Structures are given as structure tokens and as C-alpha cells.
Structure 1
Amino acid sequence: MEHALLPWALDGVDLGDAVLELGPGPGVTTRLLAARAPALTAVEIDGTLAERLRGKGFDVVRGDATRLPFADGTFSAVVCFTMLHHLPDPAAQDRLFAEARRVLRPGGVFAGSDSRVSLRFRLYHVADTMTPVDPDALPGRLATAGFSDVRTSVNPRAFRFRATRAA
């Protein structure tokens, strides 16, 4: 994560001064983001995981990324890493996209990554929620949510995305 995925996912992304991370889970990326962002807030739905993240130098909110408890235009960047596939269905993913856009400032960036479907990916999620995101369809879905300048790219194991809330 530290040397490959996160640098690749955020290559060329200006996070600005107020970053929101959606679904950090155990916080592997959160700790790395905290060193890059002047102000970081993490939203985690799992109460146990949220509690474990507290007191690490960033704000932690227990909440649902499809119903964010923040005012419009609060953040300069919204990010999420390997969590979109944990949402129960594409409609929930689309609600997350709409919420990410809502809480971004005009000109703010939504960026992140997720896994591509493979045998290993399927095996990791045998007893877990797995709603893969099609990286080819993602630009259209983000545009529908109101983003502009949508870009995606893939590697053999993952895809990354970035999009801007229009000014």
C-alpha cells in the first residue's frame, strides 16, 4: 500500500487542505494520508474499526459513506481505497459518488482505487460483500453523479480514478 498502490492512486492528485477518506477499514491508508494532508477526516461504518482509529492524529466519524454527516462543500478532496466493492450494490456505490460530490468544494477532487476481479479477489470475498466496480463503466457513473474531468486507468490487479467537482 505505502510503496505501490497509494502512490499510484494519488499520482498527480492535489489533496488540498481538508481531506475526507471514506471507508478506511483498519486505517492502513489513513495513517499514510495523515502525513500528506493538513487536515484529515475518516468516515468508517464499522464501530470497532472506527474506535481503533481514534487518537491517531486525525478526525474519525462513525458513519455511512452513502449518507455523509457533513455540509456541502466541506472538503478539498474525498478519497477511498479498495472499499467500493464492499458496498452492497451498485446503487449504494452511486449514492457514495453523489455524496462525495456534494461534500467536495467546487474544484475539489474525488480520487481512489479498487481491486479488479480475479480468482484471488473472489476467494478473499467468499464470505464477504463483493460488488465489483467495472472500471470501464465508472467514468459514466461519476459523470452522472455530477463530476467532470473523470479519468480512470487500470493495472493487472487494480484500477484508479479521479474526478473533479466542477467550479
Structure 2
Amino acid sequence: MAMNMLHRLCCSSTLWARSVERTLLPWALSDVDLGDDALEIGPGYGANLRVLAGMTPRLTCVEIDPPLADRLSRRYGSHATIVTGDGTATGLPEARFSSVVCFTMLHHVPTQSLQDRLFTEAFRVLERGGTFAGSDGIDSIAFRLVHIGDTYNPIGPDTLPNRLRAAGFADVTVETRGGQQRWRAIKA
């Protein structure tokens, strides 16, 4: 995953953390029960993690970037278990988590095949009846400009439902708002 300097500054900023807490997560997770053992894939700088830790008794986060994972461990290790690893092959136990979430990171997964492997892995580690939920941006000129020099592979909200169903999920919903999409899918 590559991120340009502007993107790194934005994602590590207090302004972004406030936006996540006040706007993004309330919208992305409205009516979602995280249950008692949640997994976040791709926490990045931890803006979501900081809020999620107060929403579930047990939180595990898988971060592919070792320096970011180390930073998360230092800052949030008393609130969550931080695993340095790949969201497409976490090595975590099958059917362990009551929910799996990821936010504004799918567009950094470099290929459609790897994105689909991430969906399959989310399904594998989710317990029956559990929810896979999250949000990501929608392709636009502004979204592309922020990602100059980044890995940038956005998922269209028109294709996401069928890709989640192909991974095994049921009751898939995708909604859009203001350049963002959110999804919910259930492991039946």
C-alpha cells in the first residue's frame, strides 16, 4: 500500500480523527451491532480504532504496514490487539469474530483479486450471523487527486454487492452519500 505525503498528513490529522468520530463512523455503523469481539482490517493511523475500542469489549486490528502497526501498538495496545498482517490472509481463527469492519481502505488494495480475497477472508473469520460492515470513497476527480502517487483502486458501489455475495455474504446492502459508500453484509 502506497500513500503520498498529503494523504499521510490527512489520515494522521486531528481533523480527520474528529470527522471519523462525528460523521463517518456514526453513518457507516448506524444500526450495526459489533458484538463482543470485532476485527478491524486496515486501521492505518488509528482514527477508527480509537472510536471502535469503546464500542466493543474486544477489538483486534490487522495492519499490513509494520511501522503503522508498531505505532498503533504503542498508542492503542491497551485498548486493542494489534496484529501486523495482511487482511487477505490474516491467519486468525475461522469463525472467531462477531463483526468485521474496514473503513476508507479498500481503494488502497491494489487489485480486484486482492480485494475479493479480503472479502473472502472477512467471511472466513466471521461467525455465523455476524456482520461485515464498512465504508469507502467513490471514484471522483477529487478522490483521484488526493491519491496521486498512491495505490488507488476504488470499488464502484454498483459492483460491490455482487462481489460480497460471491464471497459468501447474504443480506448485502450498499448505500451512497456525498462521495462515500457504506455496506453491510451478513454471514448467514
Supply the distance in 1 between the matched residues of 2:26 and 2:184 (Cα, whole angstroms).
Answer: 13
Q: Which residue of 2 aligns with 1:5?
A: 24
What is the CA–CA distance in structure 2 between the aligned matches of 1:51 and 1:113, rounded to whole Å?
A: 24
* Corresponding residue of 1:23: 42
Match of 1:114 in 2: 136
- Following TM superposition, by how much is the alpha carbon of 1:50 offset from its aligned partner in structure 2, in angstroms? 0.3
Q: Which residues in structure 2 correspond to 1:6-155 (within 5 Å)? A: 6-55=25-74, 56=76, 57-155=79-177
Cα deviations across residues 10-39 of structure 1 (Å, max 9, x unaligned)?
000010000000001000000000010100
CA–CA distance in 2 between the matches of 1:83 and 1:89? 13
Once the 2 structures are TM-superposed, how far is the Cα of residue 154 of structure 1 from its aligned partner? 0.0
Shift of 1:69: 1.2
Displaced runs of 4 or more, over 2 A: none
Counterpart-to-counterpart distance in 2, 1:2 and 1:156? 17
State how far apart, in whole Å, the 2-side matches of 1:120 and 1:29 are: 22
Q: Distance in 1 between matches of 2:140 and 2:153?
A: 13
Alpha-carbon RMSD: 0.7
Shift of 1:76: 0.2
TM-score of the aligned structures, taking structure 2 as reference length: 0.87
TM-score (norm 1): 0.98
SS at match of 1:2: helix
Structure 2 counterpart SS, 1:4: helix
State the shift of 1:118 in Å: 1.7
Amino acid at match of 1:72: E
Q: What code does the residue aligned with 2:88 have?
A: T
How many residues were matched structurally? Answer: 166
CA deviation map 1:85-133 (0-9, x unaligned): 0001111000000000000000000000000112221011110000010
- TM-superposed CA distance for 1:45, in Å, is 0.3
Residue segments in structure 1 that go unaligned for 5+ positions in a row: none
Partner of 2:179: 157
- Opposite residue 140 of structure 1, the aligned amino acid is N
SS in 1 for 2:158: coil
1:58-86 deviations in Å (ceiling 9; x for gaps): 10000000001111101000000000000
Which deviates more from structure 2 when the two are superposed, residues 50-59 or residues 75-84? Answer: 50-59
